[in-house]
Amino acid sequence: MARVAKQKASAAHTAGKISAIRTRMSDIHRTLRDRICNLHYPPGTVLRESALAEEFEVSRTPIRENLQRLEYEGLVETRNGVGTIVSGVDFRRYRDTDAFRLRLSEMFGDFCSPTCAPEALERIQRLALRAKVLRNQSPDFEEFWRIIHELHSVINGIITNGEFRLTHDRCYFQASRARYNIVHLLWDEEIKYLDGELEECCLALRAGDMRALGLVQRNYISFGLARIARLMSE
């Protein structure tokens, strides 16, 4: 009995360590991804494994693994003789990604549960209040990015299908840098659209209509594509 108890304790300890490692890896990835998407690391920035390992107090192996994951997501690239650098914002690729996101949004209702609606509604209502404060003050690009990022996080969390959720998440981060690149040029417009998106998301969630929520996303992705196209034609 004592041996069994010891084995169980050892297994629990090992499982706890593995869980902690996974959480740490996820935190590193999220931090690096956020820095890239909000342009804290602008395109062309060299991400040095040794410096990041020192900052996060880990070995170079988890840093390398996270950089490989970011490369898969299209946020960094590896260049011979240089290392890992933050990739540029390719607006043609952005259009392709958002065209795909339009179709994903149309399927949103098939992969979500309305049981998540009340909690999601509460969180988005708080975001809407923050957006109203943002509208009445000097441009705060960091807060703008935090709001749209948290909105995505809420909506992504409603998705019950794992593969759909991963694809939805990856495409969002691939496209988000393009939006962040233009927000300083279209601040008043972007704030107006953000207010509208948050309000319409709340309406869909109050009705528990996940398909309508997806269509709200689709509409605002389409509006964003139109703004980008307009800027590129000027």
**30-44, 90-104, 106-120, 177-191 — which one is most confidently predicted on average?**
106-120
pLDDT recorded at residue 15: 44
pTM equals 0.80
CA distance 225 to 179: 9
CATH of 2-86, one of 2.70.150.10, 3.30.565.10, 1.10.10.10, 1.10.150.20: 1.10.10.10
Model pLDDT for residues 36-95, shown as the tens digit of each residue: 887 889 889 999 999 999 999 999 999 999 999 999 888 899 998 888 999 887 777 788
The CATH classification number of 91-233 equals: 1.20.120
Write out the residue limits of the CATH 1.10.10.10 domain(s) in the chain: 2-86
CA distance 82 to 78: 8
Identify the band that residue 126 occupies on the pLDDT scale cut at 50, 70 and 90.
Answer: very high
Model pLDDT for residues 215-233, shown as the tens digit of each residue: 999 999 999 888 888 877 7
The upper half-sphere exposure of residue 127, i.e. CA atoms within 13 Å in the direction of its Cβ, equals 29
